Amino acid sequence: MNSEQLSDLVVDALDDIKGQDIIILDVREMTTVTDYMIVASGTSSRHVKALADNVAETAAKAGHRPIGIEGEAGCEWVLLDLQDALVHVMLPKVREFYNLEKLWSLGPAGDLAATDH
């Protein structure tokens, strides 16, 4: 499974349990850490946890176990590291404050790299 297929799998897992405002950021031209960052919102800390758990389970079944999961204690912002994709699941207030989309959406030539789903 390539990184593009992995990001599609993540989006489907988020969408399956009603993840909100799902954005895929193609960061291949900006960093060597990962190919894609996927950002989504949950409606509550329980929803954020459920979204993160569903992504982790779905990815693991496809042979991509997360190499790290951070933020599960408070569940305001959970980060899943799938190597070729970093998944950020956040409460709306946290997402608005950190504004990762703006930080990572401009490529080297100033082109937008984000894709709404």
Give the gyration radius of the chain's Cα atoms.
13
**Ordered domains of the chain (ranges, CATH):** 3-105 (3.30.460.10)
pLDDT digits (tens, 9 = 90+) for 81-105: 999 999 999 999 999 999 888 877 7
55 neighbors 7 (Cβ within 8 angstroms): no
pLDDT tens-digit readout, 6-26: 999 999 999 999 999 999 999
Whether 115 contacts 8, CB under 8 Å:
no
| Spatial distance between the Cα atoms of 41 and 22, rounded to a whole number of angstroms | 7
DSSP assignment of 27-71: -TTT-SS-SEEEEEE-SSHHHHHHHHHHHHHHHHHTT---SEEE-
Mean pLDDT in residue range 12-41: 94
Amino acid at 109: A
- What is the percentage of the chain residues whose pLDDT exceeds 90? 72
Measured distance CA(96)–CA(6) in Å, rounded: 26
pLDDT at 8: 95
What is the side-by-side order of every strand in the sheet holding 114-116?
68-70, 77-81, 85-90, 36-41, 20-26, 114-116
